[in-house]
Structure formats: structure tokens, C-alpha cells
Amino acid sequence: MRTAIVTGGASGIGLAVSREFARRGAHVVIADLDGAGAERAAKELNGSAATLDVSDARAVTDLVERVAAERGRLDVVFNNAGIAVGGTVDELTLDHWNRTIDVNLRGVVHGVHAAYPIMKRQGFGHIVNTASLAGLVPAPLMAPYTATKHAVVGLSLALRAEAAAHGVRVSVVCPGFTDTPLLDNANPGLPQTPTGAGARESASRTTGRLYSVDALAADVIRGMARDRALIVAPATGRLAWRGARLSPSAAVRVASLAVHRLSGR
């Protein structure tokens, strides 16, 4: 692993994974909408920084092509940038939906669209996309987020099937509730909802304890090394995923009970 681009790399999961990449000798390009945060992370890791809005397709392509040209290769692109959007479906506006799709889905599409042709030409590389456990199980009270994360899982598995013949690996990360700044900044730049305002509290009540980003980063590195299609963590998340696969209707009933518990009804 020699050159890695990490979007949303200034904090949370992106920063923790970037640290793991750097420890293994990679030159890490930290790309984030928070340019100052990206600079701080890059300085810490002796890497490079870029201010990037992943919803801007041209900006993503320019960054990926520039890094590949300057470094002579592109080993990993970790499409990790995302936002949290919470609220009941009737509370949400089309702005909530559109912004979530622009960042969480189109942001990944833009990263794949830019990186995959380069990796295909060079005959190697690993694309890692961050989805969520919400992309595998029913996850109410955040329908736009859930919809985009299901889409990222589907995109990743479809691309993996195509890319295998060209030496390109594709993995998708599906973490359960993880202790990241996203939980403190739900519905960024959007109308706040009662559910979104309590994202961290709701997550803590649901799981009891949030998973650490450092533990998740170790899971990501291990999953990449084993060329896992799906990297699901923690163990409770894998259990929930298996349960949903065995009985989708039961998983929906459990999710419905969680809605009643969290809403106090």
C-alpha cells in the first residue's frame, strides 16, 4: 500500500483509518470539506491535504487524477465522506433527501467513477466504500441515510463482481453505531428535527455503548487484507445482520419496537 486517498479523512472513521494506512507506510491524501482539519491530519501523518466537497464530481475527478499522476500509482481510495440525517419520514423535507443523496451516494459514485478506470488500467488497487449497518438492516428514523447506505452496499458488490477480473478489489464497510462527530452534527445545514437533534443519545440508548473508531479502523485494515466484500463490525452488528438475513420480517418488527422505545410511545 503506497498511495491512499481518504475522503472525510479529517475526523472520525476517516482519520482513524488514515492513521492505520500511514502506520503501514502509505502516503495518505486527506480529503475533507473541512480544509483546516485536513491540513492538521495531513501534518500529523506526514501526508497531503485537500479541501474537497465529494458532491462535486469534477473536483473529485481532478483530485484523484492529480494524485495518481503525481504519485505514479493509486493503491487505495477510501470513499468515506458522509453525513447523518435523522427524523421521521413525515418530518423530513426534500432538502434532507437531496443533500443525503448528494453526499452519501453521489459522493461515493464520484469517487468510484474517478478511481476505477485508473486502477483498471494499472491492474491493481482497492476501492473501499463506507456504508453502514443501516445499509444491511431496517434502520428507521433516518430513512434517507438508510436508503443511501443500502445503495452504497449494492454499488460496491456490483462493482466488486466487475472489478475482480481486472485485479481491482472492492470492499464496503458497514459499521454499527460508532463514536464519531457525525452523531453530534446530524442534519448539517438542514432543518433540524427532534429525532436528528438527539442522534447521539438515540444511538447510545440503542446500543448501550458506541464502537470506537480505532477498533473499527483495525477491522477495516483486517478486512482489506482478507479481501472481504463486506466488513461488518462490531460483533453485535454482525449478529443483527445475520438475524435480518434469516428473518427480514422479524427484523422489521424489532426495528418497530425500537421506534416506539426511542419515541416514548
Q: Is 211 helix (H, G, I), strand (E, B) or coil?
A: strand
pLDDT of residue 92: 95
pLDDT of residue 265: 47
User: Quick one: average pLDDT of 183-211?
Assistant: 69
Q: Phi and psi for 118 in degrees, rounded to 5? A: -65, -50
Catalytic residue among 145, 177, 211, 241: 145
Q: Tell me the whole-structure pTM to 2 decimals.
A: 0.92
pLDDT level of residue 37 (50, 70, 90 thresholds):
very high
User: Quick one: average pLDDT of 54-67?
Assistant: 98
Domains by residue range for the chain, with CATH: 3-263 (3.40.50.720)
Dihedral sign for Cα 65, 67, 71, 77, please.
Answer: negative
Kindly report, residue by residue over 202-212, the tens digit of the pLDDT.
555 555 679 99
Kindly report, residue by residue over 93-106, the tens digit of the pLDDT.
999 999 999 999 99
Pair 45, 18: CB distance under 8 Å: yes
pLDDT score of 76 more than 70: yes
pLDDT score of 182 more than 80: no
Span of 148-152, 169-173, 174-178 with lowest mean pLDDT: 174-178
pLDDT of residue 187: 79
Taking the C-alpha atoms of residue 5 and residue 179, their distance in angstroms, rounded to an integer, is 22
Kindly report, residue by residue over 235-259, the tens digit of the pLDDT.
999 999 999 999 988 888 888 887 7
Q: C-alpha cell of 150? A: 443500502
pLDDT of residue 67: 98
Pair 213, 15: CB distance under 8 Å: yes
> Residue 145 catalytic?
yes
pLDDT of residue 43: 98
Pair 171, 223: CB distance under 8 Å: yes
Taking the C-alpha atoms of residue 62 and residue 239, their distance in angstroms, rounded to an integer, is 40
User: Quick one: average pLDDT of 75-94?
Assistant: 95
